[in-house]
Amino acid sequence: MKPKELRDMSQDELTAQLKSLKEQLFRLRFQLATAQLENPMRIRQVKKDIARVHTILRERELHENVR
């Protein structure tokens, strides 16, 4: 996902997206362990998406504290 798309989401949507990405990462790791993973680079992409969501959530948290 692009950061612009994530910034347009609400707090609840970001939290739901984060939960979904973590579940997806779990499934991908499980597939990797059972040698059923077709695209190993997908794990890397999901991890980056999780980091992006965390970053935007933290930005919003810091922005609220400034006010």
Q: Which residues contact 47 (CB under 8 A, 6 or more apart)?
A: 25
Confidence label for 67 from pLDDT (cuts 50, 70 and 90): confident
- Asked if the model's pLDDT at residue 33 lies above 90, the reply is yes
**From CA 65, how far away is CA 33, in angstroms rounded?**
42
Q: Which two tokens stand for residue 22?
A: 């973590």
Give this prediction's pTM.
0.91
At 55 the pLDDT is 96
Average pLDDT of the segment spanning 20-47: 96
Q: In order of start, what are the domains of the chain with their CATH numbers? A: 3-66 (1.10.287.310)
According to the model, what pLDDT value does residue 66 have?
85
Confidence at residue 12, expressed as pLDDT on a 0 to 100 scale: 96
Calpha distance 14→24 (Å, rounded)? 15
